[in-house]
Amino acid sequence: MWFEELHLNGSGWEWQQTLDRVSFSDWADPNWQPDSLSNTTMEYCAMLSREKDWAWAEQDCFKRQGMVSVCEIQPAYQQCFQNSCYQLISQFTYYDKLSSKCASLGGTVLEINSKEESDFIKGYLDAAPVGRDGLGNLSLTQVWLGATDIGSEGNFRWMSNNSKLNFDNWGMGQPNNGLPYGLEENCVVLESSEGWKWKDVTCDASRLVVCEVEKWNGGSRRR
């Protein structure tokens, strides 16, 4: 089984995604492994060896035939703040697919619980590399937030666990449930034209979504 993220660099082994030095190892034979620095085998990558009870073994990086890789977490989650990491998904998604979209990536739809987190997300979206036109202007206008008042008008809750909001950042006059136009606006977005403040909208359009996962010392994990 291939260790996609572990490779040898210079004088030691490091994780490819973060470039952090390996602080734990489980080599098959610590007396002989790893030995790439002392021979010419060019074994600069690592794998889990079934023949050695899934202990670590060095491997030539170009000899992957018959091996499989296991992904611990979607590697795109690289923007982190406090206890969460975030990823803007560059695919427009309908409301009824939001939870499953983020769940497939190990996370939940974005939830903002403090002004500090709100400021971080604003900066993250302002710098987003997707959704820009040929002049570099931000062309994405709305991003889903994981809150809804479906079932109880005006009582917005987080989709992930049905808990009440403990923070909000509504734009001027929001939420208004579509007044005076008589619309039924039960979903919430971040609106770029208002500095990514919150706005209630109808749930029937497709928009971009930010997925969120819980951060831990080794990277990210499911919430």
Q: What pLDDT digit, counting tens, does each position of 132-160 carry?
A: 444 444 456 899 999 999 989 889 999 99
205-208: list long-range contacts, CB under 8 Å, 24+ apart: 205/94, 206/92, 206/93, 206/94, 207/92, 207/93, 207/142, 207/143, 207/144, 208/88, 208/89, 208/90, 208/91, 208/92, 208/93, 208/130, 208/131, 208/140, 208/142, 208/143, 208/144
pLDDT of residue 122: 95
Average pLDDT over residues 187-192: 95
pLDDT of residue 171: 96
Q: What is the pLDDT of residues 91-133, one digit of tens each?
A: 788 999 999 989 988 899 999 999 999 999 999 998 876 554 4
Q: Record the pTM.
A: 0.61
Using 50, 70 and 90 to split pLDDT, how confident is the model at 161? Answer: very high
pLDDT of residue 62: 63
Q: What is the mean pLDDT of the chain?
A: 78
Q: What's the Rg (C-alpha) of the chain?
A: 23
pLDDT of residue 18: 53
Ranked by mean pLDDT, the top range of 6-15, 74-83, 183-192 is 183-192
107 and 213 Cβ atoms separated by less than 8 Å: yes
Domain ranges of the chain: 2-59, 79-221
Domain 79-221 is found in CATH 3.10.100.10: yes
